[in-house]
Copies of this chain bind each other. A is one copy, B any other.
């Protein structure tokens, strides 16, 4: 029988998940790793073609050469978001070969991979360890996956691979451009997606690495965002992604008056708190509200004649415009969200591709996240202790990945513009359904009916005390939400853990329970 123990945020966590012992979340910065990084096998050039040509006729042959067998961990990446054409093929081949019990380790999964539920049902796949957006998450919450899902942040995914918690047997890296040696990038080609940073850990640490491309060019493929020296095989195929689905559908500025107000209020808060000053840095997401906030930042900078030293991105047309206008000196980009982002990265050396290693890996000698002055993040729920949830909805269903959200919590100031309620369900609650980030790292909640500042941030409370901003306590906001919507009903769960939520250091901060349907 699996035992449960309470972790530092009071959640009941099984002591074992997927047959491996669990380290409980101990609090921010409390767990200190003592081991050494995963040590990949030493290769020899003698075992690789001297002329550098690693081309293999097709993906099936490459997977067989890579030694595909039962129980292996296979990784893919979400650079093409909902336009990915490669991941499904891998598991079609595995099923055809009668392989069982695979672990799929995507950097994220999307709706386009929904049909992999068939392989979760027939035993080809044991489980998914990776962010799940939409249908696969719902499937998981219904208790239909054999193994337990494990969700990690972008930085946590790098950490897990680096630390050897997850040993990838075969990484399949879909690349918009590659050469026969395996050098690859995402800035050119018809499937251009910007960068390939999510595959960096896989290239460095996986036992076998397969690069799949629909734009094979002669050596050298410049830039080499993925270095061929880590690659075993290269496969050319007709089409690896659907360009129109590679671009995120969410990157339009909101037209909703409510959300515009939220955006304006957030920007105003940052301004009053003294965050927007010459040489500052920021990260705003690619959702409609966040994009508007970025634009408001731009207005303030223009008015004052100041500029930002850098913006962390999620790049998009609005940020690129500010960048090309000179309001932002550098874009440090982890993921391009539209064609303008891709173009800018291709053309401008100050629009730099980053990776989960540089930006987010908590088990490095520092990372970029802590250097960002202000980050704007969303949440499905926040509780009165400022704990945040981004993975489940208030009905208990796991419908979103963690992305870089946990990692960004380490920025100097974390601001969350969220509506007080959604579909008449309060967003601010006594307890969040799933703790994805601990309250000690969440500083400011901005709602359309007031702003709550984490009492730990006495500096921020002090900075805005004479402003005309609608500052309230988090309890006041919660009560206001409940006055309007009523107190939310508790969810009924089955007695089964379906997913673990890892913290950035590899400890388990919460679990997701099967929902009673």
Task: Determine whether the beta carbon of B363 is less than 8 Å from that of A48.
Answer: no
Smallest Cβ-Cβ distance to A231: which chain B residue: B365
State how many angstroms separate the Cβ of A332 from the closest Cβ of chain B. 6
Task: Determine whether the beta carbon of B362 is less than 8 Å from that of A162.
Answer: no
Which of A17-25, A39-47, A58-66, A124-132 interfaces with chain B?
Answer: A39-47
Q: Is there a chain B Cβ closer than 8 Å to A486's Cβ?
A: no
Which of A107-115, A216-224, A258-266, A415-423 interfaces with chain B?
Answer: A216-224
Q: Is there a chain B Cβ closer than 8 Å to A96's Cβ?
A: no
Q: Is there a chain B Cβ closer than 8 Å to A241's Cβ?
A: no
Q: Which residues of B contact A352 (CB under 8 A)?
A: 220, 222-223
Task: Determine whether the beta carbon of B232 is less than 8 Å from that of A365.
Answer: yes
Smallest Cβ-Cβ distance to A279: which chain B residue: B218
State how many angstroms separate the Cβ of A367 from the closest Cβ of chain B. 6
Q: Is there a chain B Cβ closer than 8 Å to A229's Cβ?
A: yes
| Contact pattern, A 298-332, Cβ under 8 Å of B = 1, otherwise 0 | 00000000000110000000000000000000101
Q: Which residues of B contact A412 (CB under 8 A)?
A: 51
Given A350-B222, A365-B232: A370 in contact with B309 (beta carbons within 8 A): no
Task: Determine whether the beta carbon of A42 is less than 8 Å from that of B363.
Answer: yes
Q: Is there a chain B Cβ closer than 8 Å to A35's Cβ?
A: yes
Q: Is there a chain B Cβ closer than 8 Å to A338's Cβ?
A: no
Please provide the 9 A-B residue pairs with the shortest distance between their CB atoms, ordered closest to farther. A29-B46, A36-B39, A39-B39, A48-B366, A33-B42, A50-B370, A52-B371, A229-B364, A37-B39
Q: Which residues of B contact A105 (CB under 8 A)?
A: none
Task: Determine whether the beta carbon of B181 is less than 8 Å from that of A43.
Answer: no
State how many angstroms separate the Cβ of A28 from the closest Cβ of chain B. 8
Q: Which residues of B contact A35 (CB under 8 A)?
A: 41-42
Task: Determine whether the beta carbon of A363 is less than 8 Å from that of B45.
Answer: yes
Protomer copies: 2
Q: Which residues of B contact A366 (CB under 8 A)?
A: 45, 48-50, 52, 54, 181-182, 228-229
Task: Determine whether the beta carbon of B40 is less than 8 Å from that of A36.
Answer: yes
State how many angstroms separate the Cβ of A54 from the closest Cβ of chain B. 7
Q: Is there a chain B Cβ closer than 8 Å to A269's Cβ?
A: no
Contact for A309 among B49, B219, B330, CB less than 8 A: B219
A-B contact pairs, 30 of them (CB 8 A): A32-B46, A32-B47, A33-B43, A33-B44, A36-B42, A37-B39, A37-B40, A37-B41, A38-B39, A44-B505, A45-B363, A45-B370, A45-B410, A50-B410, A51-B412, A52-B368, A218-B279, A218-B309, A219-B309, A219-B310, A219-B371, A220-B352, A223-B352, A227-B357, A227-B358, A229-B357, A229-B358, A229-B365, A232-B365, A349-B349
Q: Which residues of B contact A37 (CB under 8 A)?
A: 39-42
Q: Which residues of B contact A443 (CB under 8 A)?
A: none
State how many angstroms separate the Cβ of A181 from the closest Cβ of chain B. 6
Q: Is there a chain B Cβ closer than 8 Å to A361's Cβ?
A: yes
Task: Determine whether the beta carbon of B309 is less than 8 Å from that of A365.
Answer: no
Q: Is there a chain B Cβ closer than 8 Å to A230's Cβ?
A: yes
Task: Determine whether the beta carbon of B330 is less than 8 Å from that of A363.
Answer: no
Known pairs A52-B370, A227-B358; list 20 more (Cβ under 8 Å).
A30-B46, A31-B44, A35-B42, A36-B40, A36-B42, A37-B41, A37-B42, A44-B362, A48-B366, A49-B366, A50-B366, A50-B370, A50-B410, A218-B279, A219-B309, A219-B371, A228-B358, A228-B366, A229-B364, A349-B349
Q: Which residues of B contact A43 (CB under 8 A)?
A: 33, 363-365
State how many angstroms separate the Cβ of A23 from the closest Cβ of chain B. 13
Task: Determine whether the beta carbon of B371 is less than 8 Å from that of A181.
Answer: yes
Q: Is there a chain B Cβ closer than 8 Å to A101's Cβ?
A: no
Q: Which residues of B contact A219 (CB under 8 A)?
A: 309-310, 371
List residues 211-256 of chain A with CB under 8 A from any CB of chain B. 218-220, 222-224, 227-232
Q: Is there a chain B Cβ closer than 8 Å to A202's Cβ?
A: no
Q: Which residues of B contact A310 (CB under 8 A)?
A: 219-220
Q: Is there a chain B Cβ closer than 8 Å to A381's Cβ?
A: no
Q: Which residues of B contact A365 (CB under 8 A)?
A: 43, 45, 48, 182, 209, 228-232
Q: Is there a chain B Cβ closer than 8 Å to A383's Cβ?
A: no
Q: Is there a chain B Cβ closer than 8 Å to A163's Cβ?
A: yes
List residues 167-197 of chain A with CB under 8 A from any CB of chain B. 181-182
| Contact pattern, A 328-372, Cβ under 8 Å of B = 1, otherwise 0 | 001010000000000000000110100001100111111110110
| Distance A352 CA – B37 CA, assembled complex (angstroms) | 29
Contact for A367 among B29, B54, B229, B309, CB less than 8 A: B229
Smallest Cβ-Cβ distance to A229: which chain B residue: B364
Task: Determine whether the beta carbon of B330 is less than 8 Å from that of A42.
Answer: no
State how many angstroms separate the Cβ of A263 from the closest Cβ of chain B. 27
Smallest Cβ-Cβ distance to A41: which chain B residue: B36
Contact for A45 among B42, B44, B228, B364, CB less than 8 A: B364
Smallest Cβ-Cβ distance to A219: which chain B residue: B371
